[in-house]
Amino acid sequence: MKIGIVCYPTFGGSGVVATELGLELSRRGHEIHFITYSQPVRLELLSNNVHYHEVNVPEYPLFLYQPYELALSSKLVDMVKLHGIEVLHVHYAIPHAYAAYMAKKMLQEEGIYVPIVTTLHGTDITLVGSHPFYKPAVTFSINKSDAVTSVSESLKEDTLRLFDIKKEINVVPNFIDLEKHEPHFTDCQRAMMATDEEKIITHISNFRKVKQIPDVIKVFNAVQKQLPAKLMMVGEGPERESAELLCEKLGITDKVVFLGNSNEIDKILCFSDLFLLPSLTESFGLSALEAMASGVPVISSNTGGIPEVNVNGVSGYLSDINDIEDMSKNAIHILSDKARLSEFKSNAKKVASRFDIHAIVPQYEAIYEDTLKKCLIL
Ligand code: GMT
């Protein structure tokens, strides 16, 4: 199949899922066309069946806001015609599902029928999409998609609660390439970051408010009072500066390393003992799954889709949002006993294997085939 994938190319779960999906589909023999405004961060290798088409939005002084949706829908029309793309799979409803619907309608005028598959990722529904300014357009474009998928049961429920949805929503969970998370280095250079006695705790995100960055620091602060530990803060975003200030205030700057965005997540997870994800909301928690696949147990909040990924008492622990005390207690419980830590590490890996890429990607293929069949009948 020739599949067009639209996503956000920056660091962030939806772009990562879209990129890994495209790469796996290409390995399974499909021709993949990524259509977005810059090359997706995890798309390192372009090959004869992986292509990248950049959407350019020319600056024009009359516009206070440059019309990205317009440029995207025009690009989609051009790429479908030029490359014979058969299915468009858009990740994150805003504005991708809307732009894809416009492209579909333009193509129909020329007798070309391309089904649209929309994958809902989280904030496109829970935070941004349900805002009254966007809601009618988001509802419309979800209902007009030929197939809709959501990354967790919880996100499906949220979507049905927040929007008037007439379409069936298929839950296709996010996935992980377990082989990629099998440490291939003989030495993950742990010694660079901590002494043998120190436990390494890690947080990876885009440092937005929803990630509750102060809670990450507060939990770590409580843990390091009980046992020697270091905190790795990976990512960039609006909350980074205040996080650094909080570390200064708590007098723990020498124990916290801010690493910025990284393409070496596997290396960082390889030397991590525990992962923190105390988010306010999380449709799935891909970073938690990535940690678990690398054998890192997770201390998280029990919000949204996280309980579908992190199994309480098995791959880590779940606590109520903002319950710093409970999260710290659980973290210390796991870290303070060598045998217990190693059991949680191996459990984390086992739970992660439920989301193996080889089991999940065929579900998307089946959806593409189904929409194509329905499209031919019409
Ligand atoms: O979580 C983020 O900040 C990024 C965001 C995105 O759209 O890229 O992530 C959402 O999609 C991920 C992939 O499906 C999910 O794993 C995240 O849980 C979800 N984020 C939220 O719901 C806050």
Q: Find the CATH number of the domain harbouring 209.
A: 3.40.50.2000
Same domain, 186 and 328: yes
Query: pTM of the full predicted structure?
Result: 0.93
Pocket test for ligand 1, best of 8, 17, 121 (most atoms within 8 A of CB): 121
Same domain, 43 and 117: yes
Give distance in angstroms: CA of 327 to centre of ligand 1.
21
Same domain, 346 and 211: yes
Same domain, 333 and 185: yes
- Model confidence at 128: pLDDT above 80: no
Task: Read off the DSSP letter of residue 134.
Answer: T
- E strands, 140-198, are 147-150, 169-171
Encoded tokens for 230: 């270091």
pLDDT digits over 68-111, tens only? 999 999 999 999 999 999 999 999 988 999 999 999 999 999 99
Same domain, 311 and 371: no
Same domain, 47 and 167: yes
- Which atom of ligand 1 is the closest one to the Cα of 306? 18
Nearest 5 degrees, angle CA 238-CA 295-CA 346? 145
Same domain, 212 and 127: no
Same domain, 348 and 373: no
Same domain, 328 and 362: no
Same domain, 62 and 191: no
Sorted by sequence, the CB contacts under 8 Å of residue 171 that are 6+ apart come out as 149, 150, 151, 152, 153, 155, 156
Domains in the chain: how many in total?
2
Same domain, 93 and 116: yes
Sorted by sequence, the CB contacts under 8 Å of residue 235 that are 6+ apart come out as 11, 203, 204, 205, 206, 207, 260, 261
Encoded tokens for 190: 């742990």
Residue-range definition of the domain harbouring residue 303:
178-355
Contact yes or no for 91/61 (Cβ under 8 A)? no
Give distance in angstroms: CA of 92 to centre of ligand 1.
9
Same domain, 156 and 10: yes
pLDDT digits over 190-218, tens only? 888 999 999 999 999 999 999 999 999 99
